[in-house]
Amino acid sequence: MYPMNRRDFLKTAAGTGAAIFVHGCGIPIPDDKGLNASAAILRVGYDDSLMQTIEAGFELVPPPDVQGKRVLLKPNLVDLPRENKPIVTDASVIIAAAEAFRRRGAAEVIVGDGPALQRDAWQIADAMGLTPLLAQHALPFVDLSLADVRSLDNAGSNLGEPVLYYPEPLLNADIVVSMPKMKVHHWAGVTLAMKNMIGVLPGVVYGWPRNLVHLRDLNNAVLDVNLTRAPDYAIVDGVMGLDGDGPIRGDSVSVGVLIMGSNAPAVDATATRVMGLRPEMVPYLARAAGSLGPIGEASIEQRGETIASVRRPFHVLSHMIGLVA
Amino acid sequence: MGSSQLQTWSQTALEELIASCNSDGGWPHVSGQASNAEPTALALLALAAFDSASSAIPPAVAWLQQQQLADGAFGLSSTYAEASWVTPLAAMALARLGRDNDHAVSGAAAYLLAEDVFTLNPTPPTYGYDTGTPGWPWMPGVYSFVEPTALALIFLKQQGYTQHERVREGVACLAARVIPSGGWNYGEPVVLDASLYATVAPTAAALLALVGEQSELTATAADWLAGQRGTITSLYSLAWAAMAMNVLGRESWSDDVAALWNATSMTRRNPLDTALCLLAVAPREGHAFALTD
């Protein structure tokens, strides 16, 4: 079946919102329109140094003021981890971030997600070892898919939906932190801080999975969700990533980094380059350039480690070969 | 756990469920939240099984009736009325609670039999399963998935539509979505040539919907589900699995349900899970999720 031709790939896109990564499509270089941002790369493992490393990242690219505020950490808990595949944000990174925000004066820190591929968020939390850590650190966990919902006017015009429904815990948070796992995605190209925000759309409204976003093009959904309520900060768990057939069936990749910043497109572009891939070839990143943030290397001030020093090329499926740098 | 201990547990769970009812008569997914059709419907089914004279039933029925739309579908609540997937559960609850609800129930059936669903027809070559046979979607007009299809099938079969063309399509849709190694997930058994993983709750729901549809795939799926015993740590998944095992007439998981419910903290336990747990241990005879053929 592989490599598939463009005609077959376009047919697949109808039901799944696949992006097109065919090499040599002549996609123009995105224009950041003068936008600039910073992103930090820090080396770390899943060990006791995580909180200090995140605090070091805060020094490099400060988060918004969290003093006295409510912070929602939104990790990627897409599905039950199986076969030891690193498909969810590591529990140790979530906990370290929570404690780091507490040390910066956050009045309340909540962990919340709405897993895409099954309803039982607690089963996933149990399986990944998050549940006992939540209890040890007195951190509330909320299934965003079952929370009360409220509609917001869709600030984007890409999905064709006038409103988007959001869970109240997210809307009531002062600061929202996107905490994705560093993964390739067989439809979107990569799944990082911006794509992670699709997970806030409640399953009780949109289903498990949120098929509306696939039918109307996943990239349109990523843009509209980020235009309507962008994350205030991003921490990418790139200690162990997933390549190949992401976001569920791929293979482990040891990268050994966190990537942090207050502008999601810039963080994602940086992470994409660390993965040895081209952010301008990820459709939602290319379209975000110049509006939601910069993605050009010249527009992003790299702090901490250099991209070249930590780059770890991710393998991709054959239809995604155009992503490879 | 002896029968008296199980009875004691079910009474405790029932009391907690009733105490978590909102002042408007409905139940929330999580205590402190607004009433929602799914937990309300499941709570009503649990009450029908364990305390059919409960004073909590009439106001809950009244609340649920208010969620039905003009086209017969049920919405989740006044905040979000468009979700169609809860329609089978709401209608099952009303059907169980009296003939006064006949019009509402028939309206729900009519809606489901005519509901718009997106299909890919013919199936594109890159898909490893049939995408053209319609089941039921989470929202009107989108793709078919296992759980809404299973719920619709259970309700429609209970209403006598087993041989209706739309129901036969739904059965075929579930059969097309089975994971090759057994069981179901959300509804995509294969993506880009890679087989995905079975998941407990969709497998349980599909098995309940396919009772009477004798085939190797349901036997394999039931065996897969039985093999998950001892691995499930969350009430939602355990309750669905136990309910399926109960209704299918396989081994009882009632002790597992009671033990996990007791061990789950009250901050994690929620009305939805408690209602499902009660349904998981409810008498098999006349069970809310049983099919007559």
pLDDT digits (tens, 9 = 90+) for B231-246: 999 999 999 999 999 9
Residue in chain B closest to A207 (alpha carbons) equals B138
pLDDT at B216: 87
Sequence-ordered list of residues with C-beta below 8 angstroms from that of B87, at least 6 positions apart, any chain: B72, B73, B74, B108, B111, B112, B152, B155
Q: Of B80, B194, B268, which is closest to A245 when you measure between CB atoms?
A: B194
| Structure confidence at residue B79 (pLDDT) | 84
Q: What is the distance between the alpha carbons of residues A61 and A71, in angstroms, rounded to a whole number?
A: 17
Using alpha carbons, select from B1, B10, B8 the residue that is nearest to residue B283: B10
What are the distances in angstroms from CA A6 to CA A128, B132, B133?
A: 38, 22, 25
Average pLDDT, chain A: 92
The closest alpha carbon to A96, from A67, A60, A122, A133, belongs to: A133
Closest residue on chain B to A11 (Cα): B124
d(CA A143, CA A111): 9
Residue-wise pLDDT tens digits, B1-31: 678 889 999 999 999 999 999 999 999 999 9
Residue A251 CB neighbours (<10 A): 16
In whole angstroms, how far apart are CA A207 and each of A119, A148, A215, A311, B68? 9, 15, 13, 37, 19
- In the chain, the amino acid numbered A240 is M
Query: What is the model's pLDDT at position A12?
Result: 46
The residue with greater pLDDT, B194 or A265, is A265
- pLDDT higher than threshold 70 for residue B136: yes
Residue that has been written with the tokens 């969700």 in this structure: A225
Residue B82 — very low, low, confident or very high, per pLDDT cuts 50/70/90? confident
Query: How does residue B293 score in pLDDT terms, banded at 50, 70 and 90?
Result: low
Residue B172 to residue B175: CA distance in whole angstroms: 5
B135 contacts in A (CB within 8 Å)? Answer: none
Question: Is 60 exceeded by the pLDDT of residue A22?
Answer: no
Comparing C-alpha atoms, which of B17, B175, B154, B164 is closest to residue B85?
A: B154
Query: A207 contacts in B (CB within 8 Å)?
Result: 85, 137-139, 142, 145, 148
Q: Give the pLDDT mean for A109-117.
A: 97
Q: Please indicate whether, in this complex, the C-beta atoms of A4 and B120 are within 8 angstroms of each other.
A: no
Position A18 scores a pLDDT of: 43
- The contact set of A with B (CB < 8 A) is 1-2, 4, 8-9, 11-12, 14-15, 79-80, 82, 117-120, 122-123, 126-127, 143, 146-151, 165, 186, 204-209, 211-212, 214-215, 245, 248-249, 317
Q: What is the mean pLDDT of residues B46-74?
A: 97
pLDDT in tens, B24-59: 999 999 999 999 999 999 999 999 999 999 999 999
Cβ pair B122, B141 in contact under 8 A: no
Q: Which has the minimum average pLDDT: B40-44, B98-102, B258-262, B280-284?
A: B98-102
pLDDT of the residue at B110: 98
Long-range contacts: A152-155, Cβ < 8 Å, 24+? A152/A228, A152/A229, A153/A228, A154/A224, A154/A227, A154/A228, A155/A224, A155/A227, A155/A228
Residue entry with tokens 């910066």? A104
Q: Choose the closest CB to A148 out of B33, B120, B200.
A: B33
Q: What gap in Å lies between CA A186 and CA A247, rounded to an integer?
A: 7
Q: Tally A–B CB contacts below 8 A.
A: 124
pLDDT tens column, A225-263: 999 999 999 999 999 999 999 999 999 999 999 999 999
| CA–CA min distance B151, chain A (Å) | 14
Q: What's the CA gap between B274 and B272, in Å, rounded?
A: 6
Sign of CA dihedral A150, A156, A159, A161: positive
pLDDT at A206 over 70: yes
Average pLDDT of the residues in A92-119: 98
Pair A210, A165: CB distance under 8 Å: no
Cβ distance of B118 and A1 shorter than 8 Å: no
Distance from CA of B118 to the nearest CA of A (A): 9
CA–CA gap between residue B189 and residue A46 (Å, rounded): 33
Is any Cβ of chain A less than 8 angstroms from the Cβ of B230?
A: no
Distance CA A119, CA A141 (A): 15
Distance from CA of B14 to the nearest CA of A (A): 22
Q: What local confidence, expressed as pLDDT, does residue A21 receive?
A: 59
What pLDDT shows up at residue A27?
57
Over range B58-85, report the average pLDDT: 93
Question: Residue B16: exposed, middle, or buried by beta-carbon count in 10 A (0-12, 13-18, 19+)?
Answer: middle
Specify whether the backbone of A276 is left (phi greater than 0), alpha (psi in -120 to 50) or beta: left
For an interface test with B, which of A145, A204, A216, A249 has the most B Cβ atoms less than 10 Å from its Cβ? A204
pLDDT (mean) for B57-68: 97
Best of A82, A118, A143 to substitute, by most chain B Cβ atoms within 10 angstroms, is: A118
Shortest CA distance from A164: residue in chain B: B80
Q: Rounded to whole angstroms, how far apart are CA atoms A260 and A97?
A: 11
B172 close contact with A: CB closer than 8 A: no
pTM for the full predicted model: 0.95
- Residue A8 is nearest to which of B38, B126, B193, comparing CB atoms? B126
**pLDDT of the residue at B215:** 85
Q: Who among B127, B148, B186 is closest to A118 (CB)?
A: B186
Which among B83, B148, B186 is the nearest to A117, CB-wise?
A: B186
For B138, the closest of A12, A150, A211 (CB atoms) is A211
pLDDT above 90 for B127: no
CB-based contact (8 Å) between B85 and chain A? Answer: yes
Mean pLDDT lowest among A160-169, B24-33, B98-107 = B98-107
Q: Which residue of B has its CA nearest to A215?
A: B142
From the list B157, B155, B152, B207, the residue with the least C-alpha distance to B178 is B207
Q: What is the ipTM of this complex?
A: 0.96
pLDDT at A177: 99
At residue A17 the predicted structure's pLDDT band, cuts being 50, 70 and 90, is very low
What are the residues whose beta carbons fall under 8 Å from the beta carbon of B52, sequence distance 6 or more? none
Count of Cβ atoms closer than 10 Å to residue B267 Cβ = 11
The alpha carbon of residue B233 is apart from the nearest alpha carbon of chain A, in Å, by 6
Residue B189: the pLDDT is 95
Question: Distance between CA atoms of B213 and B167, rounded to whole angstroms?
Answer: 12
DSSP 3-state assignment of A13? helix
Sign of CA dihedral B82, B83, B85, B89: negative
CA nearest to B32 within chain A: A148
Could you report the per-residue pLDDT of A120-151, keeping only the tens digit for each? Answer: 999 999 999 999 999 999 999 999 999 999 99
- Would you state the pLDDT for residue A4? 40
Q: With cut-offs at 50, 70 and 90, classify the pLDDT of residue B168.
A: very high
B176-186: pLDDT as tens digits: 999 989 999 99
Averaged pLDDT, A157-171: 95
Q: Is A238 helix (H, G, I), strand (E, B) or coil?
A: strand
Q: What are phi and psi of B272, to 5 degrees?
A: -60, -50
Closest CB to B186 among A12, A204, A208: A208
CA distance A109 to chain B (A): 16
Separate counts of helices (H) and strands (E) for chain A = 13, 12
- A4, A165, A215 member nearest B142 (Cβ): A215
In angstroms, the CA A36 to CA A53 distance is 24
